[in-house]
A and B are shown apart, each in its own frame.
Chain A
């Protein structure tokens, strides 16, 4: 058989292919497919080793896309369209765009928003000579977590 597609190989790996026997016959003679299968195995092992991955299937999908980009796809046979088909296709496209325009009018793109809710008032202290030097005792910056039970009340801000 020819090399299975990445999707077929992934299905084989997952035990979901109907034609398992032909892939099994193909693998011993094809280093590229064995490597691709090893990639899948490595990836599955890496995913299994981590617990904070929201969706391993998405990663596999991205890997399939990546492989498609890396490996040039075989040239597809040329297709000729009869003039009648071209007209029908144009009509369908026109209809699809028309329907899309009609039903899509309700969801215009949402522009980004930056709201300055403090804009009407000046900052509440004279800022002309504000500098950070009075806080600077020469210490090194640090970051830490304060658990919510330890947080002092800040007042003035709705949560």
Chain B
């Protein structure tokens, strides 16, 4: 048996062995985080965990927590970003709705509240959400603790585990992973002619100013939502436009369009605003 034949047989044996072991080509890995979400009752110094959910996913995993019964509903959307090795940024949109009786025409009345919080925390810090405020001996709290997990394949899906189910289904958690950074090109036209263009990077659910230049209106753009698979992303936006002397041209105007397409808005004073938005990264 000559050397070439021996080499060929060796290669075939190695290939066969690796297939038999099910060896996979190396897949890129990414760090993951786990968010431990606990619903806790505190009464007279005693803590009882009513429900617990673990959400894990790559950096930038978002989750929503809902707490509800017949009279009360809380929805908290957590947009999370790992901004440094041990630092996280949480942007929290909080909505509550509480039954507040009946109207003279016997229609249900509700007390509604919306809040926005921008929190910077470290890993293993706890975000404490108090659905009914701080007072009372019998207190309900929602604790969210971010933890670091070992790296996993980049294509590993989000994972939700339910170590303890809350009674009556009052508490549930959903999660998703969508782009959090967007490249934006904005163009301002007057009577059909371009007068200025600008480009910025915007963060998800963070209103960001876009300045066209001296003497021209400025725009505050908020990317509110992203839906659809990566190849067909739709982006929901809202924006305010203001003249240099503070006169509002547009207040909370909004729209939805496919990533990369142009959204056009006719503003007062013969102005037109064109916006094109593209997710950065995933």
Contacts and interface: CB of A to CB of B under 8 A. Distances in A.
Nearest to A139: B133
Nearest to A153: B47
Interface residues on chain B, size class: 35 or more
Contact of B71 (A65, A133, A139, A151): A133
Contacts of B249: none
B126 A136 contact: no
Contact of B125 (A59, A114, A145, A157): A145
Contact of B199 (A42, A52, A132, A154): A42
A141 B159 contact: no
Contacts of A140: 96, 113, 133
Interface string A102-125: 011011011111111110000101
Contact of A123 (B68, B165, B281): B165
A39 B199 contact: yes
A56 B119 CA distance: 23
A59 B136 contact: no
The SS class assigned to the B binding surface is: strand
B156 A110 contact: yes
Contacts of A67: 185
Contact of B69 (A35, A103, A133, A137): A133
Contacts of A70: 185, 260, 262, 276
B83 A52 contact: yes
Contacts of A63: 183, 185, 199, 278
A127 to B, nearest CB: 3
Contacts, number: 218
B155 A110 contact: yes
Contacts of B163: 117-118, 157
19 contacts: A50-B201, A52-B83, A62-B278, A66-B277, A69-B261, A106-B25, A111-B157, A114-B160, A130-B168, A132-B131, A136-B132, A137-B135, A139-B136, A142-B129, A142-B133, A142-B134, A143-B128, A148-B125, A157-B163
Across the A-B interface, give the 7 residue pairs with the lowest CB-CB distance, nearest first: A139-B133, A106-B24, A127-B167, A130-B168, A62-B183, A127-B168, A135-B140
Interface of B: 22-25, 27, 36, 38, 40-41, 47, 49, 52, 67-72, 74, 76, 81, 83-84, 89, 92, 94, 96, 98, 113, 115, 117, 119, 121-122, 124-136, 138-140, 143, 145, 147, 153, 155-170, 181-183, 185, 194, 197-201, 260-262, 276-281
